[in-house]
Structure 1
C-alpha cells in the first residue's frame, strides 16, 4: 500500500492548502518518509524531526 493511501489525504491536503506547508512527515513514530503535495510524490526524510513522548491523539 502506498504512503498516499495510508495517510489521511483529505485532512493533510486541506492543511497544505491552508498553510502552504509543502511536505508532511510520517511521524508515528518518526518513519523517515514524507509526502510532497507540490510534486505529488513520496520523499525520503533521513533527518527525521525529533520529538519527546507520544504523539497526541485527537479523536
Structure 2
C-alpha cells in the first residue's frame, strides 16, 4: 500500500502487528489474523474477563 500511495505511514507494534495511518486519517491494524479498519471494526484482542453476576 505505501508503495503505490504517498502519505501512508506505519508503526510496528509487535512482531507481525502493524498500525497504518493514511494521509487523510484512515487507520488500520494489520495482524497475522487479519486487517482491521480501526474506525469501523473492533480491534481484535483477548476477551476481557467478566465479573460474575450479583446474587
What TM-score, normalized to structure 1?
A: 0.31
- Higher strand fraction: Structure 1 or Structure 2? 2
Higher normalized contact order (CA 8 Å, seq sep 6+, divided by chain length)? 1
Task: Tell me the TM-score normalized by structure 2.
Answer: 0.32
Q: Compare the two structures and name the one with the higher helix fraction.
A: 1
Q: Which has the larger radius of gyration?
A: 2
